[in-house]
Amino acid sequence: MGAPNATSDDPYLLTADGVKEPPRGWRASLRYLGPGLIVSASIVGSGELIATTALGAEVGFALLWMVILSTAVKVAVQAELARWTIITGKPALTGFNEVPPKIGRLGWINVLWMLMALSKLLQVGGIVGGTAVALSMLVPVGGDPLGFTSLAVWTTIVVVGSIALLYSNSYSLIERGAFALVAVFSVATVVIALGLPFTPFGYSGGDLLSGLTFTIPAGAIGAAVAMFGITGVGADEITFYTYWCVEKGYARWVGPNDGSEEWQQRARGWIRVMYKDVFLSWVIYTFSTLAFFVMGAAVLNPQGLVLEGNEMITTLSQMYTDVIGEWAAIGFLVGAIAVLGSTLWAAIPSWSRMYVNVLATLGVLDWSDARSRQRWVRGFTVALPIVWGATYLFINSPVVMVQIGGIMTGIFLPAVVVATWYLRNTQVDRRLHGSRAFNTLLVVSSIAISLLGVYSLVNVFS
């Protein structure tokens, strides 16, 4: 179900004839899961492969507790904002724009979103660069695999290939591709991380326990904040998850709110399906995140290896060659392309939708016009990869680029929390609120995210 050409097929248009009864139980719900896979594809990429592994290489096992916290603490906010979307049929940036005060036509949260989007040009540019470096090392062009010629050629190929594959913006294509890319690298990495104790780079239960002491080593605060902001669901994933919930069909299957008991029952049912979707994606990216961190801490840290510049991929590949053997270098490069490519696969259509949505709040286009929306989304599907590729070739330092984006994501998270609570309290029927246990988790999640944002802000300006 992609962004449609015919208004009657528009998932953002809620009509009585689009209603569908929700499934009951896990088995019946499996075919209706999917938005979380796209989120997982985005998460199991730059955050895990670069930021989390870099943190493990820098501090060893000391911050294992923060890795676990960073993946768990944001989930409740993600689910709460998705609940609002399923009930109203509106995507996140439409809702953010309704949170007062406004600056002209634009809500203050969308102003902050635009600032975050600028920093994300660096982060996603770093992902394009990381993918190009891996491809260049696999098949060098013009000599030195880390030379400008080879990197420029492969960056161009990554950009053009991404545009060609994703131009259709078909939801089902994006979902299936996300599933395949996540499966390839996550399974391999988790298996290798679990096998490390049987190699010269083994770790013990004591090492793992030492990482659960809630301390932050001196000098590691900046890397820790970037990792916290970028791993698990970040502000951007929480935001774009709402678009995929709509395009999967959750909101349309609930239908327009006619105030009936039947509508409430449908809403509760599809919200329960969304919970399952969120939970499944959380399991996927949590295990992958832990695997990357453990590999960085067990293999790179004892050798004093740090992720820097374009040599990042060479250093990362050493994790695999040191554990398995030289033959694993090719396998790693293929896997690195898959994991970084999965982030691009999710990022291009997700950011395209968000850019178009924020322009709609400015009155540049009518979001409810499906044909116009599709044209604009396709335009950004072409433009964004080109800008990201050019940004990488200009700056040429993937690790720093990704970490800058991670810090800005951490700063934007509190604004997402404010919007989520405002929309919950003003537009969600109290009878459709979560359980007492969920609401407790939402409060804890909101406080933790807000503290992260305040700390990030103070850290940046100091």
Is residue 1 scored above 50 in pLDDT? no
Is residue 127 scored above 90 in pLDDT? no
Helix axes 261-295, 64-72, angle to 10 degrees: 160
Give me the pLDDT at residue 214, please. 75
Give me the pLDDT at residue 218, please. 72
Give me the pLDDT at residue 101, please. 93
The H or E element that residue 103 is part of is strand 102-103
Residue 89 sits at φ, ψ, to 5 deg, of 80, 5
Three-state SS at 212: coil
Give me the pLDDT at residue 213, please. 81
Give me the pLDDT at residue 4, please. 41
Give the Cβ contact number of residue 180 at 10 Å.
Answer: 14
Peptide bond before 101: cis, by omega within 30 degrees of 0?
yes
Q: Is 457 left (phi over 0), alpha (psi -120 to 50) or beta?
A: alpha
Give me the pLDDT at residue 215, please. 75
Q: Is 397 left (phi over 0), alpha (psi -120 to 50) or beta?
A: beta
Q: Rounded to the nearest 5 degrees, what angle is found at the Cα of 156, between the Cα atoms of 151 and 157? A: 100
- The closest alpha carbon to 31, from 273, 346, 379, 329, belongs to 273
Q: CATH classification of 7-461 is 3.40.640.10, yes or no?
A: no
Work out whether strand 102-103 and strand 106-107 pair parallel, antiparallel, or are unpaired. antiparallel
Radius of gyration of the chain (CA): 21
The H or E element that residue 359 is part of is helix 328-361
How much of the chain exceeds pLDDT 70, in percent?
85
419's tokens: 């919007």
The H or E element that residue 214 is part of is none
- HEC string of 50-85? HHHHHHHHHHCCCCHHHHHHHHHCCHHHHHHHHHHH
Q: Where are the domains of the chain?
A: 7-461
- The closest alpha carbon to 239, from 135, 100, 346, belongs to 346
In one-letter notation, the amino acid at residue 172 is S
Distance between CA atoms of residues 96 and 423, nearest Å: 8
Give me the pLDDT at residue 54, please. 76
- The closest alpha carbon to 449, from 228, 298, 267, belongs to 228
Q: What is the mean pLDDT of residues 426-438?
A: 93
Find tokens 């459709």 and name the residue.
432
Find tokens 């870099």 and name the residue.
54
Average pLDDT, the chain: 84
Residue 98 neighbours by CB under 8 Å, 6+ apart: 107, 422, 423
pLDDT single digits (tens) 314-337: 666 666 666 666 666 676 677 777
pLDDT single digits (tens) 220-267: 777 677 666 666 777 888 999 999 999 999 999 999 999 899 999 999
- The closest alpha carbon to 133, from 307, 300, 314, 306, belongs to 314
Count of CA atoms in the C-beta half-sphere (13 A) of 123: 32
pLDDT single digits (tens) 129-170: 888 988 998 889 887 888 889 999 999 999 999 999 999 989
Is residue 456 scored above 80 in pLDDT? no
Distance between CA atoms of residues 184 and 336, nearest Å: 10
Three-state SS at 317: helix
Is residue 288 scored above 90 in pLDDT? no
Q: What is the mean pLDDT of residues 187-215?
A: 77
Distance between CA atoms of residues 444 and 437, nearest Å: 11
Give me the pLDDT at residue 310, please. 57
Q: What is the mean pLDDT of residues 26-42?
A: 91
- The closest alpha carbon to 268, from 83, 66, 89, 8, belongs to 83
DSSP 21: P
DSSP 31: G
